[in-house]
Amino acid sequence: MISLHGPQGPIEHAGAGEGAALPREAVWIDLLDPTEEEARRVEEATGLRVPTREALSEVESSSRLRRLKTGGLSLSSPMITFDRSNFVLKPIGFVLTKDHLVTIRFHELRAYETVKTRIAERDGDCANAVEIFLLIVEELVDGLADTLEEMSADLSSLSTRIFDFDPVDRSKSSKVGRLSPKRRDLALRRLLRSIGWQGKALGKVRASLLGLGRIVPFVKDSGAEQLDAEESPRFDTLSRDIVSLDEFETRQTETLQFLLDAALGLINIEQNNAFRILTVVSVVGIPPTLVASMYGMNFKHMPELEWIYGYPYGLSLIALSALIPIVVSRIKGWV
Please tell me which of 31-45, 142-156, 227-241 the model is most confident about, judged by mean pLDDT. Answer: 142-156
Which has the higher per-residue pLDDT, 111 or 174? 111
- 141 vs 221, which has greater pLDDT? 141
Pair 80, 148: CB distance under 8 Å:
no
pTM as predicted: 0.77
Higher pLDDT, 251 or 45: 251
* Non-local CB neighbours of 130 within 8 Å, separated by 6+ positions: 96, 98, 101, 219, 223, 226, 227, 231
Domain 2-272 architecture: 2-Layer Sandwich (3.30)
Return the pLDDT at 277.
79
Q: What's the pLDDT score for residue 16?
A: 47
Across the range 291-319, mean pLDDT stands at: 80
**Whole-angstrom Cα distance, residue 106 to residue 85?**
18
Other Cβ atoms less than 10 A from the Cβ of 15: the count is: 11
Quick: pLDDT tens for 230-280.
778 888 999 999 999 999 999 999 999 999 999 888 888 888 877 877 887
Please give the share of the chain, as a percent, with pLDDT higher than 90.
25
Residue ranges of domains in the chain: 2-272, 273-332
Give the span between the Cα atoms of 252 and 152, in whole angstroms: 7
Q: Judge contact between 270 and 188, C-beta under 8 A.
A: yes
Counts of helices then strands in the chain (DSSP H, E): 9, 7
Query: Which residues does 328 contact at the CB level (< 8 Å), separation at least 6?
Result: none
The DSSP secondary-structure symbol of 77 reads E
How much is the pLDDT for 123? 65
Q: Which residues contact 264 (CB under 8 A, 6 or more apart)?
A: none
Q: Report the mean per-residue pLDDT for the chain.
A: 82
Which pLDDT score, from 0 to 100, does residue 229 have?
63
Interval 197-203 mean pLDDT: 91
Greater model confidence, 110 or 20: 110
Mean pLDDT over 54-60 rounds to 84
Written as one letter, the residue type at 117 is T
Q: According to the model, what pLDDT value does residue 22 have?
A: 65
What is the structure's pLDDT at 238?
92
Q: What percent of the chain has pLDDT over 70?
A: 85
- Asked whether the predicted pLDDT for residue 299 surpasses 80, the reply is no
Decide if pLDDT at 155 tops 80.
yes
Query: Bigger pLDDT: 178 or 195?
Result: 195
* Predicted local confidence at residue 84, as pLDDT: 65
- The answer to whether 141 touches 148, Cβ cutoff 8 Å, is no
Average pLDDT over residues 182-211: 89
Q: Is the pLDDT of residue 176 over 70?
A: no
